[in-house]
Structure 1
Amino acid sequence: MSSTRNKRSQPLWTPPPGSPPVQLKLFNSLSRKKEIFVPQNGKLVTWYSCGPTVYDHAHMGHARSYISFDILRRVIADYFGYDVFYCMNITDIDDKIIVKARCEYLLMKYKEEGLSCDKVLADAKEAMQIFLKKLSVEEDSDKKVMLERIKETVSDSIKRMEDAISSNATDSELEKAKEELITKGKDVLGKWLDSQKGADVTENSIFADLPKIYEEAFHKDMKSLNVLPADVLTRVSEYIPENIDFVQNIIDNGYGYESNGSVYFETNKFDQKENHHYAKLVPEAFGDDKALAEGEGELTKSDGEKKNPADFALWKSSKPGEPAWDCPWGKGRPGWHLECSVMASSILGQSMDIHSGGCDLKFPHHDNEIAQSEAYFDNDNWVRYFLHTGHLTINGCKMSKSLKNFITIQDALKKYTSRQIRILYLLHPWKDTLDFGTSTMEGAIQYEKSVNEFFLTVKDRLRNIPSVGVAAFDKWTPEEVELNQKFLEKKSAVHEALCDNIDTPGSMKIIKELISLTHIYLNKCDTEKRQVNRRVVYYIASYITQLLKVFGTFDEDESIGFPQGSIQSADLENLVMPYLEAMAEFRDKVRQATRGSTSQVEGILKLCDDIRDEVLPNLGVRLEDKEGRRPVIKLVDREILLQEKEEQRKAEEAKRKEKEMKAAAQAEKKKQNMIPPSELFKHETEKYSEFDENGMPTLMKDGTPVTKSALKKLKKLYDAQDKKYQDYLKSQNR
């Protein structure tokens, strides 16, 4: 009795052993390592992303950041379940914008003057001399390459203009040459005009109109790439009062000083404070004068105004020809670094969870943002996690607007789809450098194709299967149990990959592995001629679909798979499929019935093939004949099917030509073998003048005897031909 009581006094249940849950880690540029992600306020994530400086069309380098952060944003929100509040800015006041606006305005006015060809040519040559001096002292290798390209383009246009003038070309030809010189020489002529007349451009609307054009284009590009819009968008031009107040508060806190109408941030004083650190992201760049100067902008000349070369502009005194706003220090405009600090802090407050941008912004831009913001709030934690995407390169060279080495988003979308571009980014780590080119895009295209074919195959297997009721559930065999176990393991592996700095390449690799496992299962069912278990296949396909939705490859409400162009309605598929299946079944029965028959077989089978190969592809239907089971019907975008058909036609044409070439080569070889060795050299009368009784050359064309070395070589050819000829004779006697 006592032993029974002791036994029952022991706990009847103990918790199962297990490992702690995997937590999301992000690579934090502030610590330069992966850190467990812990938002400051529960599930709420406040996020500021550096937006574009809108002075030109966005390119694929920009897409590198915006698509990558869109993927991270979607995963953090839709997979991990955080409530993300996403803020992004538009920089519409900046030195690049000012210079480009002035150059374009002055070039427009220059064209309107109707100057003579001689005058335009003289101006271009003068501008070119100044440009060449700049080229001669340029030390940056990438910029030097860019300037060399400009030099070549403009020099060619100048040469064509000179030729047109010297050859007394027609008026229309001269006007065409002049127009080409102004257009292709805009980088040289525009800067030359700006140096002479830039200070005379005083209308603020000139500086406001240009960024509006490119901001509108940017939003269209982002929509085309399926990048989610920000929850709140800020523009510098709308935050001028807040910029002025921000600068004044930094001055009041003792970290800013006015000099000649500009205001500078005192980096050494800030860095010496016990609870402050300057250049948190790239401390080794502290004092990098070249990087600091580039961050200040090409219009900023601060010689003698700063206490220390490492100080940077919070507010810039505007010179003639620059937009300006009234402030306590005179007319001016905000510094580039200040703008983001003001807009981010106005929306997200004194500390945000995530700040993101391209890796080229780390220093000085983001380091200066951190310093001035923490000087304003007098804290040491303005940003908790700093995320930076890697560069995008073309054939190993950095893609950059300032280097004129870029592919615009719209140009890229003429060649590739938005989904293919996103898959490219998904297949590479978001924080590493990625090379954009034909080879890398081909990998993305093939990935999309294989996944899409998987979806189409699964749709075919699940078609006309009840979704509810007794018929919807089959008993699981050991094969289904094993597949499901592997599926659960792959799901767990995807979760671990996404927790590990949102490792999308790892996740995409696991998706491919899961697809391969499912194909093995389906093929085994076909081989063993047994029913596919619909449930486990559906679970896998649905999971992959939802994961790819999270990654932003598509948003439409599809139960499984990518939307197929104009075929985006599940109702349409349900409507047309019974008719397609009836037609496919009828066609299959006709094909089966004609086997072994001798009358009209070829004509009937050709009609069946024409339906499959000509009629249905034009309707967006792929029909696949499968031996031993019913035909497979897949609804596919019509353009894809027509492209596949064209590729097949080209492959067949190439195969036909190759066959013809082989046949011609064989015929030529046979023809060559039919020549008696005595006739081998006799047609070469342009080389030889006499031959012996065996047909061997004895004298050259000029009457000189054939040399011994030449005779030796000719004898080898003669003997080889003799062997071929004897083989030919033997073949004829068989």
Structure 2
Amino acid sequence: MMSSQSDSAQWAQPESAHPQTGLKVYNTLTKSKASALPPGGVPFVPREGNRVSWYGCGPTVYDASHMGHAFNYVSLDIMRRIMEDYLGYDLTVVMNITDIDDKIIERTRHEHLVAQYRAKAETLSEQLVADVGAALCDYANTAFPELVAAKLGSPIGRADDWRAFAAAVNGGQDPALAASSEKALMRYDAADAAFEALVAARQSLADGKSSQAAAVALVDTATDVLAPWLDAQFRESVTDPRLFRNLSAYWENDYMADMDALNVRRPNVLTRVSEFVEDIVRFVQRIIDNGYAYEAEGSVYFDVEAFDGTNGHVYAKMSRRSKDSAKLLAEGEGSLTKRRAEKQGERDFALWKSSQPGEPAWPSPWGPGRPGWHIECSAMASEILGQNIDIHTGGIDLVFPHHENEMVQSEACFENHQWVNYFLHTGHLHIAGRKMSKSLKNFITIKDALKKYSARQLRTLFLLTGWSSGINFSDTGMDEAIAIEKTLSNFFSNAAALVRDLKQAQQPADPKRQTNEPEIELLAALADARDQVHSAILDSFDTPRAMRAILDIVARTTAYLQRGRESIDPQPVEMVAQYVTKIMRAFGMADDSATRAIGWGSGAAGTAGADRETTLLPVASALSDFRDSVRELALAGGDKKALLALCDRLRDQVLPELGVVIDDHGDGRALVKVVDPAEIRRARELSEAKDAAKQLAKAKEAQLAEEKRLALLEKAKVPPQDMFRTPEMRELYSAWDESGIPTKDAAGEDLSKSRAKKLAKDYDAQKKLHDKFLQQQQ
């Protein structure tokens, strides 16, 4: 049941008799009325008791996943875990894989055709050079048509014209280039690289060098300009459907491996467009039958004008300002749709595309074709979850036109007015202020990021940012995330070790010690932290505020631990550590299989089911080696200093590699902590990298200082009476006094008083410098 809400004519608040958690979410459907809504958004009310249907837009699999994907899917994973593990919702999460798409089709054809062309390039030849030249001309004229016309007066007709164009745009620095399109700089770099490779190939041919390696190098460097040139000529030859499926299957597996590495839970149901084509055809036919779509030349288009305002339907509920954006509408249709001119209205979009030569095709009542981009989500989500869905998620860039079109398609099919109750959109991830994008080639792959940072460190950064905010990925932000993760790791290991040691000791409490006040304060702080974290979570998953509360109670507990073992009660410390562990697990900071009550539970220490020999043997072997060295030293009459060196080596080098950290305390006892050895190695590598950077900076600074010293030394060697008589100075002056100070300029005119005064001052400074040099020489 739903009730209309006065502050939003387009959205109805779901109602339920089932007890609610109090969760409120920022719903994109109501953002235009956000000021009239409660703080944190609108109350989240599932349609069916505690069960929640969730559909998330998955990736279009044609390339490596990047950090923009990581931010989106890890942020959504945090929200999902909170709902499942902390708030207790019963979720059914469905995610699609887009394996039929214009980008996949183009990428498949481009890679296939370039691979064929490369295989035929047995030697560097005049024909190959001519082909690359022709491809460069087409690429430049297509990429910068208006700018080429403005700078050169006519299209580029031969490859060497690129040199003039590059000079006209100042080597790519002309602001007009960047202003011409979002991808202009990327395309300029691709064309310029192809031109330089072309020049080098011509020189190789002139020198009589025509190896296959040189041919392959030219093809590889010029791939970006060759691919569309080859595609324009030979796209119809790419007919094997397995090529398209193989590309998408490869990148789907790659994406899943990245998500596993980031500890992102897999969806309950994974759908692929290629497996739902028949369902999509039926879905499209129902929209046609309802009067909201039309067939044209084998394609089917959604009729926006027929839908908007009919039977209470509204188009573009979330993005009224963007609904007429020609740029966004074109991007939503895909690059291959630009050839289709049969649409009746500018805002109409393809539900079914008649397949052109070189495109995969499936049978339909309208002829062989393939699904449009937007229809896939509507059909697959509805097929699995029904005619109404609780939550739909995706990146903010999908709001228009993708999610808007999903909504109108579904509401046109089912003749309802709220296909989705809550749209949750994650923000953009930027690098150096620019949105990260595959098409812009300014992205950091997830795999590259994980070579430098751990999955937990990346998740920490996202927790500190919040799911709906944009994020600027930088070393500074990661430094903060690493520091916080280290703080939490140290807290867990210290708390676990102290609790274990104090419990094992089982010493009676000292009656003289004041046991109440510090412990009562710590427990009160824990209760306050629980309230703050809970409030933040219910406030549209406000993880930055929740993390601040967690770090505050960790800091308070760490301060309490500084009191010394004799003054510590392990029970409140254990309560805090277990609570922080619970929240971190709810945030996905620990493995799902974690079994330890305190800590991350990942790595060797937290691996469930590991056999005792595998776990203990490496440490036992290290201790056995240490014992052998101690015995050998003792039998040889070694001194105390050598014995302590062996102990330090065990503590600082051997055991940390095995995940064991020994902290020496001032009371003469050591605290033993078990941590993930990978974390220790990563922290050491980061520290070594920073030290290396500091050493490099120090060396550069020393080099500059030495260069400055040598330059000053050379200057000091010049006698003051000669400093104004060098060949360069004789071009400026024509007369000098007895000391060698100029008195007339090159034209024979007397120097002004101010200029003469400055030259005399320079003379005095040089005299002091030269006198000091002579003294040092003596």
Q: Shorter chain as normaliser: what TM range?
A: 0.7 to 0.9
1:136-175 pair list within 5 angstroms: 136-137=144-145, 141-169=181-209, 171-172=210-211, 175=212
1:130 equivalent in structure 2 = 138
1:187 equivalent in structure 2 = 224
**RMSD of the TM alignment (CA)?**
3.9
Check conservation: 1:296, 1:336, Cα contact below 8 A: yes
Check conservation: 2:389, 2:421, Cα contact below 8 A: yes
1:199 equivalent in structure 2 = 236
1:569-608 pair list within 5 angstroms: 569=607, 600-608=639-647
The alignment status of 1:299 with 2:336, answered yes or no, reads yes
Secondary structure in structure 1 of the residue aligned to 2:469: coil
Structure 1 residues 649 and 471: CA distance shift in structure 2, 3 A = farther
Structure 1 residues 385 and 101: CA distance shift in structure 2, 3 A = same
1:713 equivalent in structure 2 = 765
Shift, 1:614, TM fit:
3.8
The alignment status of 1:455 with 2:507, answered yes or no, reads no
CA distance in 2, matches of 1:476, 1:575: 38
Shift, 1:636, TM fit:
3.2
Structure 1 residues 382 and 709: CA distance shift in structure 2, 3 A = closer
Structure 1 residues 473 and 163: CA distance shift in structure 2, 3 A = farther
Shift, 1:353, TM fit:
0.1
Structure 1 residues 164 and 522: CA distance shift in structure 2, 3 A = same
**TM-score, L = length of structure 2:** 0.77
1:481 equivalent in structure 2 = 520
The alignment status of 1:566 with 2:604, answered yes or no, reads yes
Q: Which amino acid aligns with 2:57?
A: C
Secondary structure in structure 2 of the residue aligned to 1:258: strand
Q: Which amino acid aligns with 1:65?
A: N
Deviations 1:444-483 (A, max 9, x none): 1111111101111112211244499997999951110111
Structure 1 residues 634 and 577: CA distance shift in structure 2, 3 A = farther
2:109 equivalent in structure 1 = 102
2:726 equivalent in structure 1 = none
Shift, 1:493, TM fit:
0.2
Check conservation: 2:302, 2:349, Cα contact below 8 A: yes
CA distance in 2, matches of 1:338, 1:52: 15
1:328 equivalent in structure 2 = 365
Deviations 1:247-293 (A, max 9, x none): 11111111111111111111111112142111111112222222111
The alignment status of 1:630 with 2:663, answered yes or no, reads no
CA distance in 2, matches of 1:129, 1:719: 66
Check conservation: 2:144, 2:180, Cα contact below 8 A: no
Secondary structure in structure 1 of the residue aligned to 2:397: helix
1:173-322 pair list within 5 angstroms: 175-301=212-338, 304-322=341-359
Q: Which amino acid aligns with 2:334?
A: G
1:11 equivalent in structure 2 = none
CA distance in 2, matches of 1:710, 1:84: 81
Q: Which amino acid aligns with 1:106?
A: L
Deviations 1:490-509 (A, max 9, x none): 11000011111101111111
Shift, 1:568, TM fit:
2.9
**TM-score, L = length of structure 1:** 0.82
Deviations 1:365-405 (A, max 9, x none): 11000001000000001000001111111111111112222
2:77 equivalent in structure 1 = 70
Bigger Rg over Cα: 1
CA distance in 2, matches of 1:354, 1:278: 19
Match of 1:118 among 120, 123, 126: 126
CA distance in 2, matches of 1:654, 1:217: 36
Check conservation: 2:111, 2:227, Cα contact below 8 A: yes
CA distance in 2, matches of 1:143, 1:316: 26
Larger displacement relative to structure 2 (545-554 or 203-212): 203-212
Check conservation: 2:277, 2:371, Cα contact below 8 A: yes
The alignment status of 1:534 with 2:565, answered yes or no, reads no
Check conservation: 2:503, 2:570, Cα contact below 8 A: no
The alignment status of 1:83 with 2:90, answered yes or no, reads yes
Structure 1: unaligned runs, 5 residues or longer = 1-19, 587-598, 670-679, 690-701, 726-734
CA distance in 2, matches of 1:333, 1:21: 43
CA distance in 2, matches of 1:311, 1:373: 15
Q: Which amino acid aligns with 1:152?
A: D
1:350 equivalent in structure 2 = 387
CA distance in 2, matches of 1:333, 1:653: 53
Shift, 1:645, TM fit:
6.2
Larger displacement relative to structure 2 (252-261 or 153-162): 153-162
Deviations 1:327-374 (A, max 9, x none): 111111111111110000000000000001111111111100000100
Check conservation: 1:338, 1:369, Cα contact below 8 A: yes
Check conservation: 1:281, 1:367, Cα contact below 8 A: yes
Shift, 1:152, TM fit:
2.2
CA distance in 2, matches of 1:223, 1:339: 25
Larger displacement relative to structure 2 (569-578 or 338-347): 569-578
Q: How many residues align?
A: 660
CA distance in 2, matches of 1:126, 1:306: 33
Secondary structure in structure 1 of the residue aligned to 2:182: helix
1:728 equivalent in structure 2 = none
Structure 1 residues 643 and 105: CA distance shift in structure 2, 3 A = closer
Structure 1 residues 68 and 120: CA distance shift in structure 2, 3 A = same
Shift, 1:688, TM fit:
7.2
Structure 2: unaligned runs, 5 residues or longer = 1-18, 35-40, 147-178, 628-637, 723-735, 742-759
Check conservation: 1:473, 1:535, Cα contact below 8 A: no
2:4 equivalent in structure 1 = none
CA distance in 1, matches of 2:689, 2:399: 52
1:675 equivalent in structure 2 = none
Q: Which amino acid aligns with 2:25?
A: L
CA distance in 1, matches of 2:436, 2:561: 45
Check conservation: 2:55, 2:94, Cα contact below 8 A: yes
Shift, 1:435, TM fit:
1.2
CA distance in 1, matches of 2:766, 2:115: 75
1:719-734 pair list within 5 angstroms: none
Check conservation: 1:88, 1:230, Cα contact below 8 A: yes
1:25 equivalent in structure 2 = 24
Shift, 1:629, TM fit:
4.8
Secondary structure in structure 1 of the residue aligned to 2:336: coil
1:549 equivalent in structure 2 = 585
CA distance in 1, matches of 2:92, 2:387: 15
Secondary structure in structure 2 of the residue aligned to 1:486: helix
Secondary structure in structure 2 of the residue aligned to 1:513: helix
Structure 1 residues 243 and 364: CA distance shift in structure 2, 3 A = same
Shift, 1:613, TM fit:
3.0
Check conservation: 1:275, 1:379, Cα contact below 8 A: no
CA distance in 1, matches of 2:223, 2:252: 22
Deviations 1:530-584 (A, max 9, x none): 331111000111111111111111222222112463333588699799999x99x
1:691-702 pair list within 5 angstroms: none
Structure 1 residues 379 and 609: CA distance shift in structure 2, 3 A = same
Shift, 1:130, TM fit:
0.9
Check conservation: 1:465, 1:472, Cα contact below 8 A: no
Larger displacement relative to structure 2 (288-297 or 300-309): 300-309
